[in-house]
Amino acid sequence: MNEYAYKTTAHINSLKGEMDEITVLEKVGENDYIVDYKGVKCHALFNWFVCQFYADDIYRIVKEGEYNG
């Protein structure tokens, strides 16, 4: 894990929005984060209105070699 990494909860796409624990690995854009959800690295957004992450572990998976953290 890098210095930035921390654990929190997020709404998970594959769980139809149910919450589970993620590890935020890196901020890569204005509102784009690389997170780890049960060994799957994927993109997540943070909704400032409700102060919660939304992780897309179905359509926004980070391919092997794209993130070396």
- Predicted TM-score (pTM) of the model is 0.87
Q: How does 1-22 read in b/e, with b if 16+ C-beta sit within 10 Å?
A: eeeeeeeeebbbbeeeeeeeeb
Q: Are 9 and 27 in contact (CB under 8 A)?
A: no
- Per domain, the residue ranges of the chain are 6-61
> Tokens 């998970």 appear where?
12
% of the chain with per-residue pLDDT over 70: 91
Token pair, residue 58, equals: 């179905």
How confident is the prediction along the chain (69 residues), in pLDDT tens digits per residue? Answer: 567 799 999 999 999 999 999 999 999 999 999 999 999 999 999 999 999 999 999 999 998 777 666
